Amino acid sequence: MRLYDRNTSTKESASAIVHSFNFQDKINFTSIIDELELKLPRRTQVGIVDNEGDVVYYIANIIEWTKTKLKDNVQNINEDPKMQELVDLGYQIHSGLKFGTHYRVYNYESEHAPWLIHITEKNHNWLDVARMIRVGHGVNKTIVLKYEEYWISLEWTKP
């Protein structure tokens, strides 16, 4: 579905492409990743539809982590091979259990974790994703889903 921002002509390029899913659907980011990899100037959004027909929208982005360094006197004890990329780049990884996710991630500059990471499996559904994002939004953190080899951030947005 194409989305046009208010006061934008529909004769212009769409402001966003919305990928809609039922909240009970198993997650599959294939179409979202394909859209994001085009690197077009429009937003890529996910619309999750509940059983009453209401839709909650999220803006999707692929995260490309930059190199940072560990804070002094800090060691990473995380042994999850799916997180090794971030460990190698110098990010500090801690349990995310208190936020209902797998990990919280710090960079050198951050006193509080800017990101909550969830390792996403194909048996998760969109309701699981909506729960994670709701908690992340409530504590001012960006939810990042590790899906196959991709890091995908999802942030709640008003329609």
Catalytic status, residue 122: no
Point out the catalytic residue in the list 106, 118, 146, 147: 106
CA 92 from chain centre, in angstroms, equals 18
Catalytic status, residue 141: yes
What is the distance between the alpha carbons of residues 121 and 144, in angstroms, rounded to a whole number? 13
Angle at 155 between CA 136 and CA 83, to 5 degrees: 65
Catalytic status, residue 94: no
Point out the catalytic residue in the list 19, 102, 118, 141: 141
Show the 3-state SS of 54-110: CEEEEEEEECCCCCCCCCCCCCCCCCCHHHHHHHHCCCEEEECHHHCCCEEEECCCC
For the chain, what is the radius of gyration of the CA atoms? 17
Point out the catalytic residue in the list 11, 39, 112, 158: 112
Phi, psi (rounded to 5 degrees) for 145: -100, 130
CA dihedral 24, 144, 55, 18 (to 10 degrees): -100
Residues acting as catalytic residues: 106, 112, 141
